[in-house]
Amino acid sequence: MTESRPVVLVVDDTPDNIELLHSMLREDYKIKVATNGDKGLELAVRDPRPDIILLDIMMPGISGYEVINQLKENAETSTIPVVFITAKSQAEDEHKGLTLGAVDYITKPFDPEVVKARVRTHVAAHLELRQMAEENRELRARIERAFSDFSEDGLLSLIQGGENDGVEFKSTLRWNLHADRSDKNIENECLKTVAGYLNGEGGVLLVGVDDQGEVIGLGKDHFKTEDKMLLHWVNLVTAYLGTGCMRCIRSAVHDVSNLRLLVVECLPATSPVFFNRDNEECFFVRMGNTTQALKPSEILAYIGQHFPDAISADAEK
């Protein structure tokens, strides 16, 4: 049968303390024991990994202070909560322990109820963070698999199909081709389209294609390099749509008909995306082959239908 209880690693050289902590915690936790710092560091990376480390300071060999330093420097153990358990009760000792990264500091003699309550709290927080990290990894992997690997033929096919609810053309990213100057309104139009895709079913923005579907490329966008253009675009998205939506957007430059296009593919966002610029906050959605801003009275209903978890989260606050 697989061990499902959280794991507590006790690092202490005093047998009485080890026995006391074991008797307090064994009912709810699997207990691992190390009687010196070196053994504690070894057990911290050995499966099953500890969900919390109860660490003495004064031990033979390396001290608890050196142990926590090494734990925090190791990516495999840096997130494990460490609680100092020690007879050193001076304020400066506690301050040093917490400064080094401990989540708590318990002085001897132990109060069993205090120890159990604090261990329970820190283990619960650690398990929750670990679950969230795993869910984020799975989400990133799922999103990555959902993006398309566009070929030139595939992009030409999109262009020939014309604009629709999931495909939109923009001649440039920021340059007014008639006035020959940078124009943030053009940037805004690109951002609005992306926001509409994120708040809906997703879609593809093709920059370097005019309204008639003619590929004109990015040559007139006045960026010194494509890397500078991509950096400018990423900065626009993070500044005016938010960093959270970046995982749902893939932006890359592709060859089409011997010209270069900026292809921005958007997946549906997991939470509402608002466009914020010039002290104006708008919520955009796709309606047919256009992007439109919803009225304030319409936004809540739309979010309730498409992002019910966002409404639930707000209600819980």
Q: What is the pLDDT of residues 94-105, one digit of tens each?
A: 999 999 999 999
Band (pLDDT 50/70/90 cuts) for residue 108 is: confident
pLDDT in tens, 274-290: 999 988 899 999 998 89
CATH architecture of 7-139: 3-Layer(aba) Sandwich (3.40)
Band (pLDDT 50/70/90 cuts) for residue 67 is: very high
- H-state helical runs in 80-111: 91-99
Q: Which two tokens stand for residue 243?
A: 């960093």
pLDDT at 310: 63
Where b means 16+ CB within 10 Å and e means fewer, 124-137 reads: eebeeeeeeeeeee
Which residue is it, tokens 């001076």? 90
How far is Cα of residue 90 from the mean position of the Cα atoms in its chain? 39
Distances (CA, A) of 97 to 66, 92, 259: 11, 9, 60
Least confident stretch, 165-174, 194-203, 219-228, 241-250: 219-228
Q: Where are the domains of the chain?
A: 7-139, 148-316
Q: Tell me: pLDDT of 2 over 70.
A: no
pLDDT in tens, 170-214: 999 998 888 888 899 999 999 999 999 999 999 999 999 999 999
Band (pLDDT 50/70/90 cuts) for residue 3 is: low
117: which DSSP letter?
A: H
The matching CATH number, chosen from 3.40.50.360, 3.30.70.100, 3.40.720.10, 3.30.950.30, for 148-316 is 3.30.950.30
Band (pLDDT 50/70/90 cuts) for residue 315 is: very low
Name the amino acid, one letter, at 113: E
Name the amino acid, one letter, at 77: T
Q: What is the mean pLDDT of residues 57-69?
A: 95
Beta strands in the chain (DSSP E): 7-11, 30-34, 52-55, 82-86, 104-107, 167-170, 175-176, 181-182, 203-207, 249-256, 259-266, 275-277, 280-282, 284-287, 290-293
